[in-house]
Amino acid sequence: MSRQSPSRLGTCPACAATITAVDVLVEYDVNGQPAVWADCPDCREVVHPV
């Protein structure tokens, strides 16, 4: 059984930590483009990854 690392979505705008798919809280579309809000694993803030 192989282990896959979660896909990287971006970085936290508050502390620059890596945000991955496991951190996602909400997924939505803005004008047909996917967007997310995620829980930063380092600073624990809810952020929009950049």
Confidence of residue 6 (pLDDT cuts 50, 70, 90): confident
Cα separation of 29 and 24, whole Å?
Answer: 14
Q: What pLDDT, in 10s, does the model give residues 19-39?
A: 999 999 999 999 999 899 999
H or E, element range at 11: strand 8-11
Q: Model pTM?
A: 0.79
Share of the chain above pLDDT 90, in %: 82
